[in-house]
A and B are shown apart, each in its own frame.
Chain A
Amino acid sequence: MKVDPIHQFEIRNLIPMTSVGGHDIAFTNSALVMFIIVGAVSALLIGATMRQAVVPGRLQSIAELSYEFIADTLRSSAGNEGMKFFPFVFTLFMFVLFANLIGLIPYSFTVTSQLIVTVTLALLVFFIVVGYGFWKNGLHFLRLFAPTGMPKLMLPVIVPIELLSFLSRPISHSVRLFGNMLAGHITLQVFAGFIIMLSGAGILGWFGAVLPFTMVVMLTALELLVAVVQAYVFVILTCIYLNDAVHPGH
Chain B
Amino acid sequence: MAPVLQAANVAGPSDGTMSDARENGDRDKQHTDEALSARLQRLNEGLGKKRSARRVSESAEADRATTASDYAQGFRLASEFVAGVVVGAGLGWLVDRWFRTAPWGLMIFLLLGFAAGVLNVMRSTGVVAGNALGGHNPGDRKE
Contact = CB atoms under 8 A, between A and B. Distances in A.
Nearest to A64: B2
Interface string B79-107: 11011101110010000000000000000
Interface string A164-176: 1101110110011
A76 B120 contact: no
Contact of A54 (B2, B75, B120): B2
B135 A168 contact: no
A112 B113 CA distance: 27
B119 A161 contact: yes
Interface residues of B, number: 43
Contact of A164 (B62, B112, B133): B112
A164 B90 CA distance: 11
A164 B135 contact: no
Nearest to A65: B1
Contact of B135 (A75, A160, A175, A240): A240
Contact of A77 (B54, B87, B135): B135
A40 interface: no
A59 interface: no
B83 to A, nearest CB: 4
A77 B112 contact: no
B141 to A, nearest CB: 16
A165 B119 contact: yes
B36 interface: no
B10 interface: no
Contacts of A249: 131-133
Interface range, A side: 35 or more
Nearest to A247: B133
Nearest to A67: B3
Contact of A244 (B72, B135, B136): B135
Interface in A150-185: 160-162, 164-165, 167-169, 171-172, 175-176, 179-180, 183
Interface stretch (A4-12, A100-108, A231-239): A231-239
A75 B59 CA distance: 12
A176 B138 contact: no
B66 A250 contact: no
B128 to A, nearest CB: 10
Given A75-B51, A240-B135, A247-B133, A168 B84 contact: yes
A30 to B, nearest CB: 23
A175 B83 contact: yes
Contacts of B91: 164, 167
Interface in B35-90: 51, 54-55, 58-59, 62, 65-66, 68, 72, 75-76, 79-80, 82-84, 86-88
B11 interface: no
Interface string A213-238: 00000000000001001001100110
A239 to B, nearest CB: 9
B2 A172 contact: no
A233 B138 contact: yes
B87 A76 contact: no
Contacts of A56: 1-2
Interface string B118-139: 0110010000001111011110
Contacts of A165: 84, 116, 119-120, 123
Given A171-B87, A176-B76, A233-B66, 7 more contacts: A75-B51, A77-B136, A172-B80, A229-B66, A232-B66, A240-B130, A247-B133
